[in-house]
Structure 1
Amino acid sequence: MKFIHTADLHLDSPFLGLQDAPEDLWQSIQQSTFTSFERIVDDALKFKIDFICIAGDIFDRDQRSIAAENFFVRQCSRLQDANIDVYLSYGNHDYQMVTDETKVLPANVHVFGNQVETKTLKLADKTTVAISGFSYGSRWIDDDQTSEYPIKANVDWQIGMLHGALTGLKNPHDNYAPFTVQELLDKNYDYWALGHIHKRQILHRNPIIAYCGNAQGRHRNEAGPKGYYLVTEENQQLVPEFHETAPIDWQTISLELEETDSAAELVTSLQRQVELQVNDTKLTLVSIQLTGSEKLTDELIVQLDNGSILARLQSQIKDTATLKFWPYEAKIRVSVDQPSFTSLDQHYWDEAAQTVFTHENITQLAEKLFQHSFIADQFSQPQTLTDLQQAVTMALQTTQNQEEQQDEDSANSN
């Protein structure tokens, strides 16, 4: 037996903040999620797999575009022509009520309903396979769904499909069908094909409980190889092998600024240093993090802050023969240890910050905003909460300094 485990295709992802890229590059970025899935289908045909499992978030939004839906139908039709079945569940991004009336997919596509159900197939060699799963009917599922999955049936292989996250303290994903590894092991399945977490990882080895990760990174926190697992039968076990398909990667590069008072020299220096570090095996979107700002004039620092240097760097890169990377940001890195408080007790601030800046609190404050999936996703990233905490810290420090200065001025005037 041989099948593909994929998830989190996020077709039609908006890639916000990259619209200023050259037109041909922007088209490649927009099409990257489509390109990655098309490559998965290409491999499915090449390896002559028996079926493919897609564990949620096929589309980036519950209101998918006609173009995205038509593309997905075409790819499934290619699989149908090769007698390859598709088993899919909808996730928290493309949630919907699953009914026969809404089905527009080819006959080889089997969609799991909104309650856990099991679909059985018999392969050409008479091997019987049972696949259990469910689709999201709403954006959030707070309850653990694993109790609804049946114990392994009288079949050769049983696969569980689950779009959800490990439960645990301080887990920002506990409202996405939380589960524990032990609960999955108790079902005696031969393979758990997980979706929702975009980092590829194996939670358990025998049997395999695995996240395949998303098929194309959508922002800087999703850097590195992206693709799918090709799962094959080896010594009466199901073994996953990762295959990369994403056409675009993300990379954060830290650079030490060189001393100069010329914008042209600064831009050339940045380009040269990035070219030495960039991953040139594929098109790379680069975040440039800079240190050593004391080596620059105040004017150049202003130009870095307002984006003028980045714009000049982008313009210079456009003129290169082969576009290997695109810098989407260049900013001076601020020390995470600054600012510090003076009259306000730093200990109490640090203690309070740990309880204030949590995913749960942010969700409650911005409930309506979080109905937009791209906003909810951004705030589920740990780095976003860290950046928010730093911004608030700096704002409080600035306010405190102003108040202390006003008190000092007032005292001097008296």
Structure 2
Amino acid sequence: MRYKSLFRIITPVLMACVAFFSVQVGAVNKSFYPGKIWPDDKGVHINAHGGGTLYFQGKYYWFGEFKSENTSSALVGVTCYSSSDLYNWKNQRIALSVEEDEKSDITKGCIIERPKVVYNKKTNKFVMWFHLELKGKGYAAARVGVAVSNKITGPYKFVRSFRSNPGIYPMNMTDEQKKLSLNTEDYKEWWTPQWYKAVDNGLFTKRDLKDGQMSRDMTIYVDDDGKAYHIYSSEENLTLQIAELTDDYLGHSGKYIRIFPGGHNEAPAIFKKDGVYWMITSGCTGWDPNEARMFSATNIWGPWKKYPNPCVGNDAKLTFHSQSTFIQKVEGKKDAYIFMADRWTPKHPIDARYIWLPILFENGKPVLKWYDQWNLNIFK
């Protein structure tokens, strides 16, 4: 009798706990909560940092770095999540896995950052680009990696890693600049007027000409005509470069430009509205947040114009304690774009939070405001 009575007491409690747990795991989000834990379909905080999204056949796919507890090195690879509404995400799989082979460029312990996936309509392939640093080399390699898959969720097969456009000068470097003899040994003291002038004239471009340009923080942008572009922080993170991809999206075509030499921009995120390209970047302060920058152009090849920080309100000068990573157009809504950013936690990388905010427009220019909670109805 004692056991039956105990069973009658425990059973409802257990059922209530199971029901509560099920509700939490299967909870349906109807809003964004920037900076909060963002559970996936299994109730686990989404692990897709420095990522980007791709809309394909009615669903969004989010690719990002799988962060570990105590290191930002790649111990697992690149994760993939899917969603039909942008609020609720299903953990699909590890899209690109690191390799056990120590000779591989993507061996376990390398650094894989800011993965972006695009779909190539000509080849029917999904192509992933990412910033890659070789294991044990810190951030000296400054390479870009490419992987490919027949299926959007993967698995992706690593193709190769490389520096950008070896042996090729930027299209917007003048003949006079190309003829200049510049040597980094002559400019050991940085930030002087003479050094800035040398950087503007291509000091580091020339240094890296033979082996290719450095490529760190990056994004991939596919234009309306299907042309794709690799936008990345180069020249010791001093200068942004925009490079056209080949038709199969697996390499560079050889056409590229430098923009804002010496401007110290990284974390590029780009979108296009009414024929105008808008790009938001950050400054270079390591894992610490800083003030966002914004640029625009009516042609991808420039000229590009600089604007003040698009963020307004409290903590605007720290980009709301985050750093840009991607901008996603909301399908089915006019002029609806989401600014995606990460709030880094370098001492506990896996706990980094996501700052997704609506891009609003005032006087024709993008504006970012903080919201503790918001949903897509804001675009009405």
TM-score class, shorter: under 0.3
TM-score normalised to structure 1 length: 0.24
Larger radius of gyration: 1
Larger helix percent:
1
TM-score by length of 2: 0.26
